[in-house]
Amino acid sequence: MSRRSEALSAYRFMWLLVMFDLPVMTKAQRKKATAFRKWLLDEGYEMSQFSVYLRFCAGKEQVERRIRDIGRNLPGTGSIHALAVTDRQFEQMTTFRGRERGRGRRAPEQLDLF
């Protein structure tokens, strides 16, 4: 495998899934939970389900940086899980919407460079 094809491998690209269960019993808790969800959206995550957000990452280094960022933005209570899977694993996901069955999403065609 050439260095270029290794760099673009579906095993190098990753998806970071952030799953959380945050308390929302009080106004202050709801405000913190909403702020955390808004922060995820501002950071480029997309909502898969109400408490499941995902983001495409170009590699393990980017995943590790995103996890550190999450650690700096924790709401203080509740449970938050971050799971990284390769693009190849993510493609194997089966999704059900109603009675319709679908496949996992493909990686974006173009990467944003900042």
- What the chain holds in terms of domains, given with CATH numbers, is 8-90 (3.30.70.240)
91-113 as b/e: b if 16+ CB within 10 A: eeeeeeeeeeeeeebebeeeeee
Please name the amino acid found at residue 26: T
Interval 54-93: pLDDT, tens:
999 999 999 999 999 999 999 999 999 999 999 999 989 8
pLDDT digits (tens, 9 = 90+) for 15-31: 999 999 999 999 999 99
